């Protein structure tokens, strides 16, 4: 590949030319990036396919959050599909919880001045004798979002997920941009409902109105609202194009006692039509308008901006940040972002031009991927951008000489323009797709000079049949690819109607997912739901845990003993237990016509024989046992996978013995996790040399429980036992063994107090 290199400078050298995008370049790139046999990918369809109620809207309608929720921008709402890993379900399909963020009913009117003056100006421009004014005003939907005789502009243009840990529940926030330019932030505070926390368009309009639509106090007044150019300028400076979240920053806050504490914050960059960028800073957890810390506006100097992305780079334990902005005319550059309030953050001294040619290839999508350079032995940053049918890439590396910039284009990927691009930030793999149902997987391979890409073609027509694609998104751990599809051509004819669906294909095998779970640095099952779902699918199909996985997991438990591997073992055992359950003979949600709801034996004046009572009780018991054992299984699997009938006593006993054996293993793992959590509670109290005034020590109950089993050799419990004296007993009332405790203590000696927790754990103190 051709590459332009610049050492010791913050921008590419002016004397060097970028590689041309001609036929020679196409042949060279195609030959250099031929698919390798070592990177073969077999995409497998994953059920179910989720049908959308409305057509998709926006340029990048699909996004996958870090907490495993997929957002789809449609013409009436944002459909949110949350992937769950349900250990109580025996069905082999993906478990998806579906919610929606509805579009506002009222149109969004940008604040460009007093309402009365704005109405007069609109009337003036609509009736102007100058056709360049009247026609421009009437045809611009930013000026006329309500539409009048035209259909209203409903639906969503773009959506963006925040990092994990931004809302009140520690999950992701959703920033949504409507077609009529309303930018809002939403949170899913309960399971079924999305709540709008703030309207940033309204707040930003009020700020501009108070500042007389000047970015700084030194700006000269531009003109009156009655001038059409000024009317256009006030609209363009608050018309959002894209918005993107930064990573979570850490700031220092001084308390009243002069103690410093770390406070999390996150930045939201909003790119406007005139090229300005508003950088909002929010304090975490984000609760609403009161959580807004600041808002600063940056002038990018790029005409007709089209896309935005954060550039975050870490070098020698120093974090650098910037904003990558792409133009509809072709240029791409990084802008410095000054974060004075953020400890340990640095930015560029001046803008860095990544691509400067005005070649009329619009930048459609930008992704920034942090990587490790194996030859330079340091971290680097890979920036990829979709430009027409090509993929532009730029490798940024900081050395002793300065910032090195290598850039080029990957050509020959698609015969049609790229409609969507996504990236797996864990291994740097990039996926692009065109509307003809073809997806390209590009794997970066480092060379001595820069890098090259090994790519492979994924034909979705071989997986789903003839389809057209409208967007793709990869799951956080790279296990699945979500695709928005509609029907393709049949016998050379287009379909009469379009049915929009979100479908899923696998990108990893079971062995790859299991290895990634065992070697994970995150050690959190919730953050790896896509990987656990692949493992769950395999166990439910084969009805056993592969031997290599059991052995590798046992070695991990013996070597380090982390509770993460115990929770993973508990997860596998529960899935195995569900795979051996008998499938229900009827649909569980369907109401029964049998009247077995009430036993009337004790009702006055209504006699009932003992046989009737026993019959009603036995019906209820059989129905309950049926629901408990077969909850969620596929009915199609009953022929081969169900338990033998009651008459087959000889075949039933081994299966029952196996179920009892698995149940015993589950109880043993749960007991171990219970003990580990209790020891952590004791460790939080006894191993702290400085205890706050509101903290008292829980006593005998915990250690009595830990010492109750004589066969359990627990040195921690024996050491803690002499310390446990007094009249208070700490009792576990409820907890989930799949979670790690994160407790906050608030005891009072001699009183009954409940210990609060950020996870589903409940402990109480009894005197």
- Strands across the sheet with 95-102, in order? 62-64, 69-73, 77-84, 95-102
Residue 187 and residue 139 share a domain = yes
Residue at 580 is within a domain: no
647 located within any domain: no
Estimate the share of the chain in helix, then strand, then coil, as percent rounded to the nearest 5. Answer: 25, 30, 40
Closest of 242, 245, 194 to residue 60, by C-alpha: 242
Strands 318-327 vs 345-347: parallel, antiparallel or unpaired? parallel
* 248 and 234 belong to one structural domain: no
Give pLDDT tens digits for 358-401.
999 999 999 999 999 998 888 999 999 999 999 999 999 988 87
Q: Is 107 helix (H, G, I), strand (E, B) or coil?
A: coil
Q: Is 27 helix (H, G, I), strand (E, B) or coil?
A: helix
pLDDT at 612: 46
Calpha distance 287→752 (Å, rounded): 32
pLDDT-based confidence at residue 109 (cuts at 50, 70, 90): very high
Over residues 175-192, the mean pLDDT reads 94
Least reliable range by pLDDT among 104-118, 229-243, 641-655, 731-745: 731-745
Residue 429 domain boundaries: 33-41+418-507
Query: Same domain, yes or no, for 316 and 341?
Result: yes
Which residue in the block uniquely carries the two structure tokens 């959590």? Answer: 677
Any domain includes 759: yes
What letter would DSSP give residue 759? S
Q: Mean pLDDT across the stretch 725-745?
A: 39
> Is 262 inside a domain boundary?
yes
What residues contact residue 229 under an 8 Å CB cut-off, 6+ apart? 223
518: helix, strand or coil: helix
Is residue 713 classed exposed, middle or buried when 0-12, 13-18 and 19+ CB atoms within 10 A define those classes? exposed
Please name every residue paired with 457 in a beta bridge, in sequence order, or none if there are none: 440
Shared-domain flag, residues 459 and 483: yes
pLDDT tens string 495-525 = 888 999 999 999 999 999 999 999 999 899 9
Residues 189 and 375: their CA atoms lie apart, in Å, by 46
Question: Quick check: is 631 in a domain?
Answer: no
| Strand ranges for 343-488 from DSSP E | 345-347, 352-355, 363-373, 378-387, 390-399, 402-410, 418-424, 429-434, 438-446, 451-459, 467-474, 480-487
pLDDT in tens, 596-644: 555 544 444 444 444 444 444 444 444 444 444 444 444 344 334 443 4
Span 345-353, mean pLDDT? 87
Give me the pLDDT at residue 25, please: 38
Residue-averaged pLDDT of the chain: 81
Chain segment 239-295, per-residue pLDDT in tens = 999 999 999 987 777 888 788 888 899 999 999 999 999 999 999 999 999 999 999
Q: How confident is the model at residue 456 (pLDDT cuts 50, 70, 90)?
A: very high
Question: Domain count of the chain?
Answer: 4
DSSP β-bridge partners for residue 762 = 734
Mean pLDDT of 720-733: 45
How big is the chain, counted in residues?
767
**Residue 538 is inside which H or E element, if any?**
helix 529-542
- Integer Cα distance of 26 and 669 in angstroms: 58
Q: Which of 72-81, 550-559, 618-627 has the lowest mean pLDDT?
A: 618-627
Is pLDDT at 57 greater than 90 in this prediction?
yes
Q: Which of 409, 443, 463 is the last residue of a domain?
A: 409
Cα three-residue angle 109-111-114, rounded to 5 degrees: 115
Domain end, chosen from 475, 507, 539, is at 507
Q: Same domain for 455 and 374?
A: no
Q: Give me the torsion for CA of 571, 574, 579, 585, rounded to 10°.
A: -130
Which residue among 409, 438, 469 closes a domain? 409
Please spell the DSSP secondary structure of 277-317, one letter per residue.
EEEEEEESSP-SGGGEEEEEEEE---SSEEEEEEEEEEETT
- Confirm whether 364 is domain-assigned: yes
pLDDT tens for residues 42-52?
889 999 999 99
The reply to whether 621 falls in a domain is no
Q: Any idea what the Cα angle at residue 13 is, between residues 2 and 335, rounded to 5°?
A: 100
Residue 290 token pair: 């009161």
The answer to the question of residue 127 being in a domain is yes
């Amino acid at each position: 590949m051709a590459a332009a290199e610049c050492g010791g400078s913050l921008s590419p050298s002016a004397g060097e030319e970028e590689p041309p995008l001609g036929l020679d370049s196409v042949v060279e790139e195609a030959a250099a990036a031929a698919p390798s046999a070592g990177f073969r990918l077999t995409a497998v369809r994953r059920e179910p396919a989720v049908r959308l109620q409305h057509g998709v809207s926006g340029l990048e309608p699909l996004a996958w959050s870090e907490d495993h929720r997929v957002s789809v921008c449609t013409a009436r709402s944002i459909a949110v599909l949350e992937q769950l890993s349900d250990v109580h379900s025996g069905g082999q399909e993906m478990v998806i919880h579906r919610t929606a963020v509805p579009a506002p009913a009222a149109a969004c009117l940008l604040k460009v001045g007093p309402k009365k003056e704005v109405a007069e100006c609109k009337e003036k421009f609509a009736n102007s004798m100058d056709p360049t004014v009247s026609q421009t005003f009437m045809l611009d939907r930013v000026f006329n979002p309500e539409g009048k005789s035209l259909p209203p502009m409903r639906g969503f243009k773009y959506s963006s997920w925040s990092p994990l840990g931004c809302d009140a529940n520690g999950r992701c926030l959703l920033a949504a941009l409507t077609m009529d330019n309303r930018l809002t932030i939403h949170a899913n505070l309960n399971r079924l409902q999305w709540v709008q926390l703030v309207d940033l368009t309204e707040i930003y309009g009020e700020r501009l109105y108070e500042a007389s639509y000047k970015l700084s106090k030194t700006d000269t007044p531009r003109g009156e609202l009655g001038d059409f150019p000024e009317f256009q300028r006030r609209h363009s400076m608050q018309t959002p194009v894209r918005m993107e979240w930064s990573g979570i920053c850490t700031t220092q806050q001084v308390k009243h006692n002069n103690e410093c504490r770390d406070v999390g914050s996150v930045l939201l960059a909003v790119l406007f039509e005139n090229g300005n960028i508003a950088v909002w800073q929010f304090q975490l957890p984000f609760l609403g308008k009161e959580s807004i810390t600041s808002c600063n506006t940056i002038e990018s100097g790029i005409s007709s901006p089209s896309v935005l992305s954060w550039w975050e780079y870490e070098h020698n334990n120093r974090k650098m940040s910037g904003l990558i902005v792409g133009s509809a005319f072709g240029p791409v550059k990084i802008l410095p972002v000054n974060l004075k309030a953020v400890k340990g953050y640095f930015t560029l001294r001046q803008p860095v031009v990544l691509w400067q040619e005005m070649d009329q290839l619009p930048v459609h999508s930008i992704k920034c991927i942090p990587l490790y350079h194996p030859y330079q032995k340091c971290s680097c940053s890979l920036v990829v951008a979709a430009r027409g049918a090509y993929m532009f890439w730029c490798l940024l590396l900081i050395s002793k000489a300065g910032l090195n910039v290598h850039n080029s284009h990957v050509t020959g990927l698609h015969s049609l323009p790229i409609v969507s691009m996504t990236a797996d930030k864990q291994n740097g793999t990039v996926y692009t797709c065109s509307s003809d149902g073809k997806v390209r997987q590009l794997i970066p391979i480092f060379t001595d000079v820069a890098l090259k890409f090994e790519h492979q073609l994924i034909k979705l027509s071989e997986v789903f049949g003839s389809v057209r694609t409208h967007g793709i998104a990869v799951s956080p751990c790279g296990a699945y690819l979500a695709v928005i599809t509609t029907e393709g051509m049949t016998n050379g004819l287009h379909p009469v109607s379009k049915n929009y669906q979100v479908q899923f294909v696998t990108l990893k095998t079971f062995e790859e997912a299991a290895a990634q779970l065992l070697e994970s640095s995150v050690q959190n099952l919730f953050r790896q739901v896509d990987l656990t779902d692949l493992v769950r699918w395999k166990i439910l199909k084969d009805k056993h845990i592969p031997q290599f996985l059991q052995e590798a997991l046992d070695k991990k438990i013996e070597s380090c003993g982390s509770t993460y591997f115990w929770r993973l073992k508990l997860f596998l055992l529960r899935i195995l237990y569900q795979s051996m359950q008998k499938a229900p003979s009827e649909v569980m949600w369907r109401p029964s016509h049998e009247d077995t709801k009430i036993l009337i034996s004790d009702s006055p004046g209504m006699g009932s024989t003992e046989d009737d009572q026993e019959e009603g009780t036995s019906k209820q018991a059989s129905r309950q046992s049926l629901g408990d054992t077969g909850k969620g299984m596929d009915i199609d699997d009953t022929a081969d996978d169900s338990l033998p009938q009651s008459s087959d006593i000889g075949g039933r006993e081994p299966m029952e013995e196996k179920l009892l054996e698995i149940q015993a293993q589950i109880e043993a793992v749960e007991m171990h996790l219970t003990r580990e959590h209790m020891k952590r509670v004791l460790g939080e109290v006894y191993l702290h040399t400085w205890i706050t005034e509101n903290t008292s020590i829980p006593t005998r109950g915990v250690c009595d429980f830990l010492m109750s089993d004589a066969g359990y050799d627990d040195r921690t419990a024996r050491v803690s036992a002499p310390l446990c004296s007094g009249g208070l007993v700490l009792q576990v009332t409820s907890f989930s063994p799949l979670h790690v405790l994160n407790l906050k203590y608030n005891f009072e000696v001699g009183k009954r107090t409940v210990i609060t927790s950020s996870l589903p754990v409940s402990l109480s103190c009894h005197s």
